[in-house]
Amino acid sequence: MVSAACPKDAWEPFEQRFGVTLWEGYGAVDGAGVTIFNAGNAPIGSLGRPAKMMKWRLVKEDGSDAAPGEPGELCVHVGDMREGKVPYWRNEQASNEKVVDGWLHTGDMMQKDAEDFLYFVGRNTDSMRRRGENVSAYEVEKVVDTYPDVLESAAFGVPSPMGEQDIMISVVLVDDRELDTRAFCDFLKERLPRYAQPTYLDVVKELPKTGTHRVVKAELKKRGVTQGTINLDTLRAG
């Protein structure tokens, strides 16, 4: 079975439960043919290692190269776009924003290990800036989704009165269970750094999704904090 961005801690349990072998694939429709594959020849949780012919970098926010273990945006050298590698057909402006000086910016944040195996962190457009730190929504959701009463979740940023953003999560519970918010706060405190702990919580019946089951976070952000939203910071302080 081919997967995309399967969390490391879910990899082997999934294989055992369904009796399959999991392979990992990476690519993007606007990635000018950039693909990476883990066909059982890379560590569990890894996307694999880029082909030797691929010239690539993981670039930090300041433009420097990310060291092993540091998140950075995957950038791949595609050269002159006139060679047929234009990411957006008949859209020169979008292509020029995507490819800068021959480097295609994928928009995907990754980490590498000492052997150049890559690990998905999240989309750089799906991150939140809090207390001077960039927080991946994907990383927050991975932790939240391991809570026994949570079926699925979506993390996103909302305006903070202190500047930057606060983290908000919308969660769908398993079989309409009751959520013990105090126990939930303690669970997150043990597993997330302080700057990545959500401030706001909404319990919802379902998450808005596209036809391909991607969560439409724009709808969640538009709704934002309401009277029914739970302030987790208040619980932590109490």
Check residue 5 and give its pLDDT.
75
Tell whether pTM > 0.85: no
Please report, for residues 12, 90, 178, 181, the alpha-carbon distance to residue 29 in angstroms, rounded to integers and kept in the order given: 28, 15, 40, 40
CATH code matching the domain that covers 2-123, chosen among 3.50.50.60, 3.40.190.10, 2.30.38.10, 2.30.30.110: 2.30.38.10
Check residue 150 and give its pLDDT.
96
Structural tokens at position 174? 């398993």
Q: Supply the CATH classification number for the domain 127-237.
A: 3.30.300.30
Structural tokens at position 183? 């126990």
Check residue 77 and give its pLDDT.
87
Residues 153, 190: contact at Cβ < 8 Å?
A: no
Which among 224, 207, 148 is positioned nearest to 180, based on CA atoms?
A: 148
Which among 151, 149, 117 is positioned nearest to 42, based on CA atoms?
A: 117
Structural tokens at position 148? 């026994």
Check residue 99 and give its pLDDT.
77
Check residue 32 and give its pLDDT.
61
Residues 6+ apart with CB under 8 A from 105: 59, 73, 75, 98, 99
Check residue 48 and give its pLDDT.
93
Check residue 235 and give its pLDDT.
81
To 10 degrees, the CA torsion angle through 55, 118, 140, 9? 160
The ranges assigned to domains in the chain are: 2-123, 127-237
CA dihedral for 15, 21, 71, 157, sign (positive or negative): negative
Which parts of the chain have pLDDT scores under 50? none
Check residue 47 and give its pLDDT.
92
Q: How far apart are CA 184 and CA 34, in angstroms?
A: 40
Check residue 86 and give its pLDDT.
58
Half-sphere exposure of 110 (CA within 13 A, CB side): 29
